[in-house]
Amino acid sequence: MPDSVAPKVAAEIASWLRHLGAERRMSLKTLEAYRRDVLQFLAFLAEHLGGRASLNDLAALKPADVRAFMAARRSQNIASRSLMRTLAGIRAFARFLERTGKGKVGALTAVRTPKIARTLPRPLPVAAAKRVADPKLRAGEERAPWIIARDAAVLGLLYGCGLRISEALGLTRADLGGGRYARDAITVTGKGRKQRMVPVLPQVQKLVDDYVELCPYDLPEPGPLFVGAKGGPLSPRVVQLAMAGARGALGLPETATPHALRHSFATHLLARGGDIRSIQELLGHASLATTQIYTEVDAERLIEAYRSAHPRA
């Protein structure tokens, strides 16, 4: 722990992170983000209070102290969304202290969370979403055929199954090359290590089969399905670059990211009459409210179509 953290507070942070990892099943990235948020707050308090904050100091904080922290972060050009996430991490630690009898940090609940402008997901048009995963789109590039096939397979999974990049890159050869649900469904491990079953379209399975056939590396069943140019696990950055290449070839806007393919999966299902509850399960959302944002996207598109096509609009 940094010098700005008192020993007893450091011990509570370690206990809190163990609790989140073991009982709440949070990912390592989430745990690291929470740890970073709390350490930033404690580093500010060490300077603000003139010394390392103890557990008693945390319980004695005033709303003005928290607002001073927010102002300091604002001065560093931190966006409202990032500041909101930081406060959420700090408040989670404060709730842990209260539950374990280490004191209540009331100042954190007395300060309002920054307001952020709500933005709707921006899905791709259906035709563009289909073409993104077409290997022929990048046939003219000076890249090995197996790499072009690999990128097409990953992008096909993002749109065809609604996966996150981390979920697609977390698949093993066994997930799509054998087993009980081979060639019609896969079991995906999402956020919080929660598993869900997702159907696999024949077109998507073919993209994966083509990649496996062309791949020059041995792909053992327990190992990663998608590998990089040197045979190691594929980096998410490579997928982002592949999407950027497809975006340029199709003339799509900057919002056409790999995650936009997941948005497209949900929006296109909803537009074709998909049930919102079923879409929630396919996406692995813990809350239906998270999935319902796609109903707003679909409604917005209907209004745009009406305004552009109706004679009296």
Tell me the domain boundaries of the chain.
Answer: 7-109, 126-308
E strands within the chain? 185-189, 195-199
**CATH 3.40.50.300 given to domain 126-308:** no
What was the pLDDT predicted at 299?
65
**pTM: predicted TM-score of the whole model, two decimal places:** 0.68
**CATH number of the domain at 7-109, out of 2.60.120.10, 1.10.150.130, 1.10.1040.10, 3.40.50.300?**
1.10.150.130
262 a catalytic residue: yes
Q: Which of 52, 262, 263, 268 is catalytic?
A: 262
Amino acid making up residue 188: V
Task: List, for residues 175-204, the tens digit of each pLDDT value.
Answer: 875 444 346 888 888 887 788 989 999 999
Q: Which of 34, 159, 211, 294 is catalytic?
A: 294
Say how far apart CA 22 and CA 13 lie, in whole Å.
14
Stretches where the chain sits below pLDDT 70 are 116-119, 177-183, 297-306, 308-310, 312-313
What was the pLDDT predicted at 60?
92
91 a catalytic residue: no
Give Cα 107 distance to the centre of its chain. Answer: 30
Q: Which of 48, 191, 196, 301 is catalytic?
A: 191
294 a catalytic residue: yes
Tokens representing 309?
Answer: 């096509």
Of the candidates 6, 28, 4, 33, the one whose C-alpha atom is nearest the C-alpha of residue 18 is 28
Tokens representing 219?
Answer: 């792909």
What was the pLDDT predicted at 178?
47
Same CATH topology for 7-109 and 126-308? no
Q: Which of 164, 173, 263, 268 is catalytic?
A: 164
CA angle 188, 287, 119 (to 5 degrees): 100
Say how far apart CA 31 and CA 92 lie, in whole Å.
12
Return the number of other C-beta atoms located less than 10 Å from residue 179's C-beta.
13
What was the pLDDT predicted at 179?
42
Q: Is 67 exposed, middle or buried (0-12, 13-18, 19+ CB in 10 A)?
A: middle
Q: Which of 67, 122, 130, 259 is catalytic?
A: 259
